[in-house]
């Protein structure tokens, strides 16, 4: 017996070929789409990374600026504290020096300071020896302090801004 002829064989073969061609085309499109998507994702990632890097650099620069300002403020505070310590030590040394000078001169210095006080306030001024050397004088409503500490403080005050040359560069 002869085998029956498959009249649908060529149609089936054509359908199979067409299905394979469509599947291959779909697979090619999927691969191309995947490659495009991957390229777009890489490009987006590079853009985000570049933006993040720029933001990080900007934040870092801002933080560095803040740190520089803080360090400058801290240095200035330290310098002012040291200047204050130097000035306080200078004031104490000048006061001690004036006390020593007045003690060396003794009655002559007190007499001269009493004369200066009366010249400032008048002959009726009541002159007293100051606690740490020197004199003070008073008339109603007015007072003159010519104590050792007041004389030393006045001398330093008259130095004014020139006192800064003591801790500035030579």
pLDDT digits (tens, 9 = 90+) for 37-58: 888 888 888 888 888 888 888 8
Confidence of residue 126 (pLDDT cuts 50, 70, 90): very high
* pLDDT confidence of residue 139: 94
CB of 80 closer than 8 Å to CB of 73? no
Whether 138 shows a pLDDT value over 90: the answer reads yes
CB of 138 closer than 8 Å to CB of 126? yes
* pLDDT confidence of residue 115: 92
Using the 8-state DSSP alphabet, how is residue 142 labeled?
Answer: E
Whether 10 shows a pLDDT value over 80: the answer reads no
Determine how many CB atoms are found less than 10 A away from the CB of residue 90. 16
Residues 62-75: tens digit of each pLDDT: 888 888 888 889 88
| 72 alpha carbon, distance to own chain's centre | 5
CB of 90 closer than 8 Å to CB of 163? yes
Q: What percent of the chain has pLDDT over 70?
A: 94
Mean pLDDT of the chain: 84
User: How confident is the model over 145-154, as a mean pLDDT?
Assistant: 90
Residues 21-40: tens digit of each pLDDT: 887 788 788 888 888 888 88
Determine how many CB atoms are found less than 10 A away from the CB of residue 114. 18
List the chain domain ranges: 18-166
């Amino acid at each position: 017996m002869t085998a029956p002829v498959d009249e649908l064989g060529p149609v089936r073969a054509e359908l199979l070929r067409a299905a394979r061609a469509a599947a291959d085309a779909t697979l090619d499109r999927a691969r191309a789409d995947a490659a495009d998507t991957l390229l777009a994702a890489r490009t987006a990632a590079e853009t985000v990374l570049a933006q993040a890097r720029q933001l990080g650099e900007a934040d870092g620069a801002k933080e560095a600026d803040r740190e520089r300002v803080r360090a400058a403020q801290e240095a200035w505070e330290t310098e002012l504290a040291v200047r204050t310590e130097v000035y306080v030590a200078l004031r104490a040394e000048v006061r001690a020096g004036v006390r020593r000078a007045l003690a060396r001169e003794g009655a002559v210095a007190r007499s001269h300071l009493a004369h200066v006080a009366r010249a400032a306030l008048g002959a009726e001024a009541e002159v007293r020896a100051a606690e740490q050397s020197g004199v003070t004088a008073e008339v109603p409503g007015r007072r003159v302090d010519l104590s050792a500490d007041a004389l030393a403080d006045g001398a330093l005050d008259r130095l004014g801004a020139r006192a800064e040359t003591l801790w500035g560069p030579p």
